[in-house]
Amino acid sequence: MAVAETAGLGPVLGFALVGALGVGSQWLAWRLRMPAIVLMLAAGLVAGPGLGVLSPSEQFGDLMQPMLAIAVAIILFEGGMTLNMRSLSDAAVGVRRLVFIGGPLGWAASSAALHWAAGLSWQSSAVFGGIMIVTGPTVIAPLLRQARLRKRPAALLQWEAIVNDPVGALAAVLAFEVVVVFANGASAGAAIVEMLVGVGAATLFGVAAGWGLAKAFRNALVPEYMKVPVLFALLLLVFAVSDAILHESGLLAVTVMGLWIANANLPSYVELRRFKEHATILLVSGVFILLAANMDRATLLAMDWRTLAFVASVILLARPLPVLAALAFSDIPWKERLLVAFTGPRGVVLVAVAGLFGDLLVQVGIEDGSKVTMLAFALVAATVVLHGFTLTPMARWLGLTATETPGVLIVGGSRWSTALGLAFRKLELPVMIADPNHAHLRRARDAGLETFWGDILSEAAEHNLDLVTYDKVIAASDNDAYNTLVATDLAPEFGREHVFQLKRLRQSARHALPATLGGQKIAADETYFEANARLAEGWEFRVTKLSEEFTLEQWRARHPDAVPVADLGPGGTLRLLGPDDKVKSTDGTRLLFFGPKREERKDDRRDENGQDTLKAANPKS
């Protein structure tokens, strides 16, 4: 009751508010196409020091620190589960350099910036400088999705962020142990031994837990419905035991455990990872709201010119120089080096670990340790806002985006697929046709379209294709079951609203696939055989441009039997259309439709703004 009277809200309402603000910020950021962490930071500051509605330290009391520690551990474990060694490919050398060379150099540069720019003592600077190696995987991931970078620079940034998270925490542990040695007059040798034992034990626990879990899952020792609960229980146990041996070494243990599972080729790995991703979104939202709301006004008002000088020195010097030095004399192009050097957003882990060590420094008599949390928040806010709004323009300027306008992936080679692919190329969109049957791709190859020979759901496709180039999928093979499998499997990655498939053949109730599986309807919702029969009857794909002179109504009057397939807005936004979707009649919209071939008239080009019939729409076999 005392807590509720002090803070205005009880713990239960506090939890509900944290969840609502966190998930609400994520959703609003998706709608506004903004970095989610920016809105979460604003929501936490408004609810906490702004309005005083949320006061986590008072509402949750002693549970605050354990909750944050467990949440950060789960976030790092999920990050480790994304590190499949085969996905490194040509980025492996760069990642090793960024971790083993860039990490120590970044620690030294960050400590120097903290001492000379922020005015902290060398003790606090050394501890916080280690934490600043962390670049924030929870921030990098949404920024990479937004910027649509090419495969190698995206891999460099993502792997550096995930691997350096536990490395930065351990660097802070090492520096803190040294500070304690000098403060208490203890033996330096004893501190080093304790550190080595803790790091070794953490690595051993992580490997053992990952190996044991993978073996149990592979040998069916755990039922399917219990795999996620067992995973969570073991994760918490490994984190707690390792942390008890050496403070914060649990972060290393859970990251190693996740890394081992990611490379164990588990049959249920995809389902496990997707569940973990959902849990991580909730945890990231909650942790950041809690940390932002826990700031007090006095701390925020304590920010002065030294804070600004510190942030500027990190962004302009302490981040770029170590990265450029680490990547020097490597085969990584200079443009990619520049992009990585000037992209270093910090996130949840930095603030959480910095807050913990700030309190520990004060406890051992280092008074300016109290400034660490404030500086961490300033750095996170500045880097997230800066890189959130500049990464995409910078990548475009350097020519490192996968594509300006995302394209379409068509699964299944046929006359209809090739004709549709040529139509998308007419719209200047990236298009690829994939099929495990080499002969089915012959028409597409002859037409000059990009093709992939293989199963789009295979590991070869995952590791060799840059799927960030495409944001829509059309499953159009002659196998309805395969189309349904492709649409269902790729829906979580592309979004269910962006995955389409041709209509299934009618089957008896005994053999029919569930209606809840599969993708959206496209065009007239025809089957594979009906769509290809239309081509044989003389139908073709055409592209026309709508304007004030040639409106949607005029187009419909001229093509009464035509079926709209997609529209491309003046801003480059592509929509694939189903049978019930309406075409946008905005001036400048380009309409792709499927209709009967007709005689070309002399005024067609004038009336339809110069958009010609696609001559190769029905390519010869």
Query: In the chain, what are the domains?
Result: 2-398 (1.20.1530.20), 407-607 (3.40.50.720)
Of the listed ranges 5-9, 47-51, 202-206, 269-273, the one predicted with least confidence: 5-9
As a whole number of angstroms, the distance between CA 22 and CA 233 comes to: 25
Helix (H) or strand (E) holding 204: helix 188-218
pTM, rounded to two decimals: 0.69
More confident residue, 125 or 73: 125
As a whole number of angstroms, the distance between CA 535 and CA 531 comes to: 7
Query: 3-state DSSP call for residue 453?
Result: strand
Tokens 């540069």 label which residue?
109
Average pLDDT, stretch 227-235? 88
Give the mean pLDDT of the chain: 82
As a whole number of angstroms, the distance between CA 407 and CA 467 comes to: 10
Say whether pLDDT at 332 is over 50.
yes
pLDDT tens digits for range 610-621: 444 444 444 443
Say whether pLDDT at 473 is over 80.
yes
Structure confidence at residue 508 (pLDDT): 62
Q: CA of 167: how far to CAs of 82, 131, 172, 209, in Å?
A: 17, 8, 9, 20
Pairing of strands 563-568, 574-576: antiparallel
As a whole number of angstroms, the distance between CA 441 and CA 295 comes to: 59
Write the CB contacts of 187 (distance below 8 Å, at least 6 apart in sequence).
181
Helix, strand, coil shares, percent, the chain, to 5: 65, 10, 30
Average pLDDT, stretch 64-89? 74
Of the listed ranges 114-128, 134-148, 320-334, 554-568, the one predicted with least confidence: 134-148
Q: 74 and 29 in contact (C-beta within 8 Å)?
A: no
pLDDT tens digits for range 22-44: 889 888 887 887 767 778 888 98
pLDDT band at 271 (very low <50, low <70, confident <90, very high): low
Q: 543 and 562 in contact (C-beta within 8 Å)?
A: no
Average pLDDT, stretch 378-384? 87
Structure confidence at residue 6 (pLDDT): 43
Structure confidence at residue 465 (pLDDT): 76
Percent of the chain with pLDDT over 90: 29
Structure confidence at residue 606 (pLDDT): 42
Average pLDDT, stretch 45-65? 84
CB atoms within 10 A of CB 151: 19
Of the listed ranges 228-237, 260-269, 407-416, the one predicted with least confidence: 260-269
Say whether pLDDT at 394 is over 80.
yes
Structure confidence at residue 138 (pLDDT): 66
Say whether pLDDT at 98 is over 50.
yes
**How is residue 316 annotated by DSSP?**
I
Say whether pLDDT at 67 is over 90.
no
**How is residue 547 annotated by DSSP?**
-
Average pLDDT, stretch 446-468? 83
Percent of the chain with pLDDT over 70: 85
Average pLDDT, stretch 439-451? 93
Structure confidence at residue 354 (pLDDT): 81
Structure confidence at residue 39 (pLDDT): 84
pLDDT band at 3 (very low <50, low <70, confident <90, very high): very low
Q: CA of 474: how far to CAs of 416, 418, 462, in Å?
A: 12, 12, 17
Structure confidence at residue 615 (pLDDT): 44
Say whether pLDDT at 283 is over 90.
no
As a whole number of angstroms, the distance between CA 406 and CA 498 comes to: 12
More confident residue, 331 or 441: 441
Average pLDDT, stretch 331-349? 88
Q: 224 and 268 in contact (C-beta within 8 Å)?
A: yes
Structure confidence at residue 539 (pLDDT): 93
More confident residue, 333 or 404: 333
Q: CA of 286: how far to CAs of 59, 60, 176, 272, 291, in Å?
A: 14, 13, 28, 21, 9
As a whole number of angstroms, the distance between CA 456 and CA 604 comes to: 40
Q: 583 and 591 in contact (C-beta within 8 Å)?
A: yes
Structure confidence at residue 152 (pLDDT): 81
Query: 3-state DSSP call for residue 437?
Result: coil
